Chain A
Amino acid sequence: EVQLVESGGGLVKPGGSLRLSCAASGFTFSSYSMNWVRQAPGKGLEWVSSISSSSSYIYYADSVKGRFTISRDNAKNSLYLQMNSLRAEDTAVYYCARVGRTTGAFDIWGQGTMVTVSS
């Protein structure tokens, strides 16, 4: 079964750091671009960051540029999001999502991990 499982969320104080992980299974992870998408409570979807299959191309939303770092380990079938200098407005469910090779859209999503930034 094709699956993405996020972990690493939790409660962190403003200014703190957190590292999210996304474990992939059921497909050749190294062949796919991956993304992080977040959703604040009661709000819409916000794209956060993208990374190409070989990590050659990386993009960030302006709202997280300079604070978040996306990375991947194809040998471990894992995607990561290092989040530093966290702010209250970063509070959200964070999803990892796969870019379909035939669709170009986000065809597989994880179940999400909640990040709460609060003192």
Chain B
Amino acid sequence: DIQMTQSPSSLSASVGDRVTITCRASQGISNYLAWYQQKPGKVPKLLIYAASTLQSGVPSRFSGSGSGTDFTLTISSLQPEDVATYYCQKYNSAPPAFGPGTKVDIK
């Protein structure tokens, strides 16, 4: 099975900072990569699919890039409401594995 890793596992940044999270697949998955946001105590929410396509309603400060095995999620200007854990997920084939998550908070 393909394994998903993320780095860093956590980060602390200031409001307005540019934040980048990396996700790596153990084998190539083309662009079948999604990003989810889970705020504390809340349900996961789809942010990005197909590696770089923003889900409807998601603020444009979020962006995704990558293909094959290496992917990034970028928040161009961190806002207080972005405090959450972010998960990547590959969905090209079963099992649709999640990464371990990256916890983002405000410095």
Contact = CB atoms under 8 A, between A and B. Distances in A.
Contact of B50 (A47, A59, A99, A103): A103
Given A50-B94, A109-B44, A103 B49 contact: yes
A36 to B, nearest CB: 11
Contacts of B34: 103-106
Contacts of A109: 43-45
A66 to B, nearest CB: 15
Contacts of A35: 96
Interface residues of A, number: 22
A95 B43 contact: yes
Contact of B43 (A44, A46, A50, A111): A111
Interface of A: 35, 37, 44-47, 50, 59, 61, 95, 97, 99-100, 103-107, 109-112
Given A103-B46, A106-B36, 9 more contacts: A35-B96, A44-B85, A44-B87, A45-B87, A45-B89, A47-B95, A59-B94, A105-B91, A109-B45
